Amino acid sequence: MKQLKTLLVDDEYSAIEGLTIRLKSFSQIDILGHACNVADAMTLISASAPDLIFLDIEMPGESGFELIKQLQPESCPAIIFVTAFHQYAVQAFEVRALDYLLKPVKRERLAEAIARVSSRLDSASSKQEILEVRDILLNATRQAEPSAAYRIEQEKLVIQDGHHPAQLIPYPDILWIDAAGDYMCVHTQEDTAVMRARMKSLINEVLPGGFLRIHKSTIVNLQHVVKLEPLINSEYKVILTNSKSLKVSRTYSKQLKESLSGCKAG
């Protein structure tokens, strides 16, 4: 079995330490070292010519995508992105990243990613394939305007459960989202997708404007609200474009009424 000379690049030492522990169970992984920023990573890459890099995205100074721009064809390692943020997944998949792992990294997903890299490096055309991926990454990051990635990220919700290909759901297609234990159910006109996420994180860090929490377990897309009907005890219900009725708790009713008034005024 081919040994994969591997580097870990992350600004959080705890993340490097955790990933190192997980990687010890994979005999094909030979960890050469780690770096906490792009400059140090480039020095290690030049010195060790790794086969594989586990790369964080958000780091002080330059990001993981900035590192990719600096890679040379003769040192074209396979890249596995490792990040705590969903929103970069669209950009990564658009440029054909080899894999995209969410922290905390599960062993099953880690095994899948390593197997994918091993398979590609063992194949006869692997070197050319990695070069092609690197060139796509390089061109995409050089040619895109700073706001281009942001627009891509804001257009779709990325759902990745670790066992199936990522689902990309355009935000305008989402009618509402509700909680089911540790999972969130994302409802569109045609289907319901399930993702592991926290309500607070989803509304505060992922969803764009136009999504509003109306209950401790429900988020609604204001674009799909047809009307607001009063109930008893200062509560309301909203009727959506698909005739679905959702309860609005008193805690969120005032903000909802103000937001709907603002939409009508706009």
Per-residue model confidence (pLDDT) at position 198: 81
Three-state SS string across the chain, please? CCCEEEEEECCCHHHHHHHHHHHCCCCCEEEEEEECCHHHHHHHHHHHCCCEEEECCCCCCCCHHHHHHHCCHHHCCEEEEEECCHHHHHHHHHCCCCEEEECCCCHHHHHHHHHHHHHHHHCCCHHHHHHHHHHHHHHHHHHCCHHHHHHHHHHEEEECCCCCCCEEEEHHHEEEEEEECCEEEEEECCCEEEEECCHHHHHHHHCCCCEEEEECCEEEEHHHEEEEEECCCCCEEEEECCCCEEEECHHHHHHHHHHHHHHHHC
Residue type, 255: Q
Cα separation, 50 vs 40, in Å, equals: 14
Angle (deg, nearest 10), helices 126-143 and 107-122: 110
What is the pTM for the complete model shown? 0.54
Per-residue model confidence (pLDDT) at position 129: 53
Q: Is 58 left (phi over 0), alpha (psi -120 to 50) or beta?
A: beta
Please give the CATH number for the structural domain made up of 166-265.
2.40.50.1020
**Encoded tokens for 234:** 């200062």
Strand 4-9, strand 245-248: pairing: unpaired
Per residue of the chain (266 residues), give pLDDT as tens. Answer: 678 999 999 999 999 999 999 999 999 999 999 999 999 999 999 899 999 999 998 898 899 888 888 887 555 788 898 988 766 665 555 545 678 888 888 888 899 889 888 877 765 445 555 555 555 445 544 444 443 333 344 578 887 655 555 678 889 999 999 987 767 889 998 888 888 778 888 888 888 889 999 998 999 999 999 999 988 777 889 999 999 999 998 888 888 888 887 665 55
Show me where the domains of the chain are located: 4-154, 166-265
Per-residue model confidence (pLDDT) at position 263: 63
**Which CATH number is correct for 4-154, 2.60.40.10, 3.10.310.10, 3.40.50.720, 3.40.50.2300?**
3.40.50.2300
